[in-house]
Chain A
Amino acid sequence: MPFRPADDGDRTRQGVAVLLLLAVMLFAACLLSLGVGPTGVGLRDLWTYATGNSASLSTQERVILEAVRLPRTALGLLVGAGLAVSGAMMQGLFRNPLADPGIVGVTAGAGLAAVAAIVLGNGILAPVAMLLGNQFLPLMAFFGGLFNTWMLYLIATRDGRTSTTTLILSGIAIGALSVALMGLMIVMADDRQLRDITFWNLGSLGGATFGRVLSILPFIGVVMVIMPFVARGLDALVLGDAAAFHMGIPVQRLKKIVIVAVAAACGSTVAVAGSIGFVGIVVPHLLRLVMGPSHRFLLPGSALGGGALLLVADSVARTVAAPAELPIGVITALFGAPVFLFLLLGKNGITTRDMP
């Protein structure tokens, strides 16, 4: 373990220090994401641009920075933060470090709803799509994620306890059902819709626009705002529903808020970036090792760390095989799947203790 708890058992300072470090890392990741790409526009041009000398850049360079890199960085930041925070919240809700929206089928539910939005958006859902405009896809994905999270909670939790086995297995079943229904939707789709679905499904930050950034900003923003209000409750919930209630937590209300937040963060990111796996499990897990499990620091830490990780992964995705782009989901899975396996095997006995 990289850090042991401080000798007096109080990890407040440790938490603050790690948060500051993460903020610095996120800033560096933003610079990397803005300054790296196959076009040769680099950090120096970024500096020129940022210091107000944008006139000395060519139009092409300016367009690349303003219309390509900037929205992509903003989107990566929001998506990474949303994915990691939804993972951390879900693990707190289920009292299980293995809960991850991607693994337990919440992402699939959001994906199904997103595909439904694409396929039915010109058909029976056309009036709704017209009404909501840019928000249609994220909203649909949000409700899809919400539905699956709720189902999962109803199925996998008995007397306030969630067993890892039931959680993962029912999550797989719910996810498989969503994927099957998605298949049915795809069969119904026409050529243009198929193209949209394929692009969406690749799991990429490519094609980022400020429109997309704005469409998920409210969802991620709301989740960030409620984070400090659910942190203490999630900490208390680790001791069990009853103990949390004894310590003054309105348990049912807390759970509803967290379920909605998980669906909002996860659903909206799926809507704009497809399914990007493992960020929600890797980031909180690594952070628990260095700052402890308290949600006061874990949730904001996950937001910062998730944003940083995704920006780095995206920078790698668009440079290693340039000018081609690797799907970012491939990068996160290559890194995240081994961590998940490691967790599942419980090598790190202190972090994973299976609930009976």
Chain B
Amino acid sequence: MISAEHVTVARSGRKLLDNVGLDLEPGKFTVVIGPNGAGKSTLMKVISGEMKPDIGFVSYHGTGVDLCQPVELAKRRAVLPQATQLAFPFTALEIVRMGAVAQGALNPTEQARQALSRVGLRSFESRPYPSLSGGEQQRVQFARALAQVPQPVSDGVPRALFLDEPTASLDLGHQISVLEIARDFANAGGIVLAILHDLNLAAEFADHLVVLNHGRVVAEGACLETVNDEIIASVYGIAGAVGRLPAAHIPYVLPQSRHR
């Protein structure tokens, strides 16, 4: 289990995170939602060990994150960042291989190929990363994260995937396939933490939903308890949106109703 306790981060007099506690359990897909500036990315930075909180504590299976060497952390969790630009023309395979190398793979090239296949980019191996579209770049980065934690549970220790807006530049089909890979990862005993903006996707995939606003956790739990009119209205300022179908002549896309 990965836990954050009493995490507070203040920058230039403003509290980005205010006494946030969060438990990421193995086998669970945890989703953080909240408006812009709620502190979602900051929370992920703190949990991944990238940022040190002013107050509070993050532990990986009982060990403080600040006591872990970067190399050890790299074996326990992989992070999918928001859009990444490169100054040098690495190929897709070379990018993904970096993740496999970070995890200490015996055959990183082979592992990188497998990860690229999982995100449906097998034929993109030799493409220079800067020449890919935004969505393709995002999926290459996702493959890199997968190559870093190829097994959801390894040596009896659950591994974690942290995804910062993994669906941001993807089309609907790829949004779903990325999140399904993440859900399989959780179902197999891994830990998944994702930041999402699409509430429908969040409700569909989250086992545990955390609503963040102004740096505080305003609600958490199963989707039915957290995505309700009262909370959505108070956080996003949009009332009456939940559970109400739009008028019949307005087309809408509901991911839950897709054919499986």
* Interchain CB contact under 8 A, A292 and B90: yes
* Residue in chain B with minimal CB distance to A95: B87
Mark interface residues in A14-51 (1 if CB within 8 Å of B CB, else 0): 00000000000000000000000000000000000000
Whether B148 and A9, one on each chain, are in contact in the complex, defined by CB atoms closer than 8 angstroms, is: no
Report if A242-B81 is in contact (Cβ < 8 Å); known contacts: A248-B71, A248-B73. yes
Interface residues of A in 217-238 (CB under 8 A from B): 232, 235-236, 238
Q: Does B245 contact A (CB under 8 A)?
A: no
Q: Is the CB of B92 within 8 A of A9?
A: yes
Asked whether any CB of chain A lies closer than 8 Å to the CB of B8, the reply is: no
Fill in one digit per residue for B59-74: 1 if any A CB lies within 8 Å of its CB, else 0.
0000000000111111
Min CB–CB distance A107 → chain B (angstroms):
22
Contact A8/B126 with A246-B50, A248-B75 known, Cβ cut-off 8 Å: yes
**Inter-subunit contact B128/A5 (CB<8 Å):** yes
**Bound complex: CA A30 to CA B73 (Å):** 47
Instruction: Flag if A292 contacts B89 (CB, 8 Å).
Output: yes
> Which of chain B's residues have a CB closer than 8 A to the CB of A4?
126
Judge whether B85 and A246 touch: CB under 8 Å: no
| Residues of the A chain whose Cβ atoms lie less than 8 Å from the Cβ of B99 | 247
The reply on A105 being an interface residue by CB < 8 A is no
Q: Which residue of B lies closest to A240 (CB)?
A: B84
Chain A nearest CB: distance from B138 CB in Å?
13
Question: In the assembled complex, which residues on chain A have CB atoms less than 8 Å from the CB atom of B50?
Answer: 242, 245-246
Specify which of A96, A232, A238 lies most central, judged by the most chain B CB atoms within 10 Å of its CB: A238
Contact A238/B89 with A243-B79, A353-B130 known, Cβ cut-off 8 Å: no
Inter-chain contacts of B148 with A (CB < 8 A) = 246-247
Residue numbers in B under 8 Å from A212 (CB-CB): none
Q: Does A97 contact B (CB under 8 A)?
A: yes
- CB–CB A8/B125 < 8 A: yes
* Neighbour of B87 across the interface among A5, A96, A246, CB < 8 A: A96
Which bracket fits the contact residues of A?
A: 35 or more
Judged by DSSP, the binding face of A is loop
Query: Which residues of chain A in 82-123 are interfacial with respect to chain B, using CB atoms and an 8 Å cutoff?
Result: 95-97
Assuming the contacts A235-B98, A247-B99, asked whether A292 and B91 have C-beta atoms less than 8 A apart, the reply is yes
What A residues does B84 contact at CB under 8 A? Answer: 239-240, 243
Closest CB-CB distance, A15 to chain B, in whole Å? 11
Residues from chain B with Cβ under 8 Å of A242 in the complex: 45, 50, 79, 81
Beyond known contacts A242-B81, A293-B88, A355-B85: 7 more, CB 8 A cutoff: A238-B86, A243-B79, A246-B81, A248-B75, A288-B88, A293-B89, A356-B85
The contact string, 1 if C-beta is below 8 Å from chain B, for chain A 342-355, is 00000000111101
B15 within 8 A of partner (CB): no
B102 within 8 A of partner (CB): yes
- Residue numbers in B under 8 Å from A246 (CB-CB): 48, 50, 73-74, 77-79, 81, 102, 148
- How far apart sit A241 and B148, CA to CA, in the bound complex (Å)? 17
Cα(A242)–Cα(B81), bound, Å: 8
Q: Is the CB of A97 within 8 A of B102?
A: no
B94 at the interface (CB under 8 A from A): yes
B70 touches A7 (CB 8 A): no
Q: Are B90 and A232 in contact (CB under 8 A)?
A: no
Are B90 and A245 neighbours in the complex by a CB distance under 8 Å?
Answer: no
Min CB gap A315→B, angstroms:
32
B98 contact set on A, CB distance < 8 A: 232, 235-236, 239, 247
CA distance A246 to B79 in the complex (A): 6
Query: Roughly how many angstroms separate A351 CA and B84 CA in the complex, as a whole number?
Result: 16
- Asked whether any CB of chain A lies closer than 8 Å to the CB of B93, the reply is yes
Query: When the two chains form their complex, are residues A10 and B90 in contact, meaning their CB atoms are under 8 A apart?
Result: no
Q: Does B36 contact A (CB under 8 A)?
A: no
CB neighbours (8 Å) of B97 from chain A are 10
**A97 — nearest CB in chain B belongs to which residue?**
B87
Given contacts A9-B126, A240-B84, A246-B50, contact A292 B94 (CB under 8 A): yes
Give complex CA distance A250, B50 in Å.
Answer: 11
26 contacts between A and B (CB under 8 A): A5-B91, A9-B92, A9-B94, A10-B125, A11-B91, A12-B109, A235-B98, A236-B98, A238-B86, A238-B88, A239-B86, A239-B95, A243-B84, A245-B70, A246-B48, A246-B74, A248-B70, A249-B70, A250-B69, A288-B89, A292-B94, A293-B89, A350-B130, A350-B131, A351-B89, A356-B85
